[in-house]
Amino acid sequence: MQTTDSSLKNILKRALQEQELTREEIMTLLGISDQEQLQGLFQTARTLRQRYFGQEIFLYGFVYLSTYCRNDCRFCYYRRSNINSLRYRKTESEVLEAAADLAESGVHLIDLTMGEDPEYLDRGQEGIDRLAGLVRKVKARTGLPVMISPGVVPESALQDLARAGADWYACYQETHSALLFEELRINQRYAERLDTKYRAHDQGLLIEEGLLCGIGETDQDLFLSLRAMQELNADQVRVMNFIPQKGTPLEGVAGLGSKREIQITAILRLLFPDRLIPASLDVDGLDGLPPRLAAGANVVTSIIPPGQGLAGVAQSTLDIDESRRTTAWVLPVLEENGLQAGSRDGYRSWIEKRVQGLVGSEN
């Protein structure tokens, strides 16, 4: 059903007043496709971003430290049964060097991400200690906050990672339809993955929750995801468009393009005005940055140092060795869009306030 301009206007007005949007209102926002109406949604998202973050955007350096994985997620290039994908496991000194390069280039955080590599996750305490050691050394070397994206790990490991100085635990549910989850994340447990995020919060870590779109979800599924993210009280929330991967069961699926991701990003900003919301370079590369910023994102993720044999996830090579996933290329794009990089102190103080419950504590 076509949304009338006046009903949309009313929803956007309520969003600006930071009233809790109803199911019907969220479904309306998911359903709009008219260009002018979308522009109204994006404008509202930018106004809310401006309210909490001004013109300041944070930059995340990405180190995909191991592409080995024990899982077989249907959407992922690095699923264990994909013989096409490039496998590597970076040594400690390679990881430190990549992190140091990223720090030097001005990022605000280092995201240490990996497949569920058995060398780290199936070797008992020894593997976890090695991972915690990496976190400790990356922090010491760069002086920056660290995010860790290791997949599902036991609570004791979350505690070890927190003690080693990790600030963030990222683990994306992809969908909050348990049925769709089980189709996508083969042989993994929906409840366990979700619960690990609650456990991470218990350990004092900030958490990032994320969705995939264009992967078979309905608008109702998306609505359930948005509510689940509110319930989880996630500190950073994201959505990424599914990119079909060579050598996987979903290789032949026609990608939807990123319009949906951008629309959902703006809806995330309406529901989470004071949270961090990424615009990832990992979906459409540098060219995809302006529309994501225009939709209210306030973090640029997947900044990758060139020439070190490091991969992306959804786009394993796009823009990396062309150096276009670097701060040097991102900063002018921010400027062209009336934005600028935030300060390191500003980022640290956001994290500290959020840990103390001083940002968005009512949610």
Task: Report the residue number, 111 or 319, with the smaller CB distance to ligand MD0.
Answer: 111
Residues 145 and 141: their CA atoms lie apart, in Å, by 11
DSSP lists the bridge partners of residue 236 as 208, 276
Here the tokens at position 283 are 């979906």
The verdict on 76 binding ligand SF4 (CB under 6 A) reads yes
- Please report whether residue 149 would count as binding ligand MD0 according to CB under 6 A: yes
From the list 94-102, 134-142, 237-245, 330-338, the region that binds ligand SAM by CB under 6 A is 237-245
| Secondary structure of 31-78 as H, E, C letters | HCCCHHHHHHHHHHHHHHHHHHHCCEEEEEEEEEEECCCCCCCCCCCC
Any contact of residue 69 with ligand SF4 (CB under 6 A)?
yes
211 phi, psi to nearest 5 deg: -120, 155
Residues 206-235 that bind ligand SAM (CB under 6 A): 210, 212
Q: Which stretch binds ligand SAM (CB under 6 A): 34-42, 94-102, 110-118, 128-136?
A: 110-118
> In this chain, which stretch among 54-62, 113-121, 302-310, 335-343 interacts with ligand SAM, using CB under 6 A?
113-121
CA atoms within a 13 Å half-sphere pointing along the CA-CB vector of 134: 29
In whole angstroms, the minimum distance from the beta carbon of 55 to ligand MD0 comes to: 22
Does residue number 210 form part of the binding site for ligand SF4 (CB under 6 A)?
no
In the chain, the N- to C-terminal Cα span, in Å, equals 31
Query: Using CA of residue 207, residue 213, residue 217, residue 220, what is the dihedral sign?
Result: positive
Three-state secondary structure string covering 271-339: HCCCCECEEEHHHHCHHHHHHHHHCCCCEEEEECCCCCCCCCCCCCCCCCCCCCCCHHHHHHHHHHCCC
Interacting residue with ligand SAM among 29, 45, 76, 264 (CB under 6 A): 76
Partner whose footprint covers residue 274, from ligand MD0, ligand SAM, ligand SF4, none (CB < 5 to 8 Å by kind): none
Q: Is residue 62 involved in binding ligand MD0 (CB under 6 A)? A: yes
Tell me whether residue 214 or residue 278 sits nearer to ligand MD0 (CB atom): 278
Q: What is the nearest approach in angstroms of ligand SAM to the Cβ of residue 144? A: 20
Spatial contact of 171 and 181, defined as CB atoms under 8 Å apart: no
Query: Using the rule CB under 6 A, is 115 a contact of ligand SF4?
Result: yes
Partner whose binding site includes residue 312, from ligand SF4, ligand SAM, ligand MD0, none (CB under 5 to 8 Å by kind): ligand MD0
Minimum distance of ligand SAM from residue 158's CB (angstroms): 14
Q: What residues does 147 pair with on adjacent strands?
A: 111, 168
| Alpha carbon distance 118, 126 (integer Å) | 12
Our finding on whether 285 is near ligand SAM (CB under 6 A) is no
Answer positive or negative: Cα dihedral of 110, 113, 119, 123: positive
128 binds ligand SF4 (CB under 6 A): no
Residue 62 interface partner, choices ligand SF4, ligand MD0, ligand SAM, none, CB cut-off 5-8 Å depending on type: ligand MD0
Query: Which residue's CB comes closest to ligand SAM?
Result: 314
Burial of residue 361 (CB within 10 Å: 0-12, 13-18, 19+) is exposed
Using CB under 6 A, which of 11, 240, 271, 293 touches ligand SAM? Answer: 240
Which of ligand SF4, ligand MD0, ligand SAM, none does residue 174 bind (CB under 5 to 8 Å by kind)? ligand SAM
Dihedral of CA atoms 321, 325, 331, 333 in degrees, nearest 10, equals: 100
Site for ligand MD0 in 113-142 (CB under 6 A): 113
CB closer to ligand SF4, 53 vs 181 = 181
Cα separation, 117 vs 106, whole angstroms: 29
Q: Is 171 in the site for ligand SAM (CB under 6 A)?
A: yes
Q: Which of 139, 156, 140 is nearest to 148 (CA)?
A: 139
What is the binding site for ligand MD0 (CB under 6 A)? 62, 111, 113, 149, 170, 278, 280, 282, 301-302, 312-313
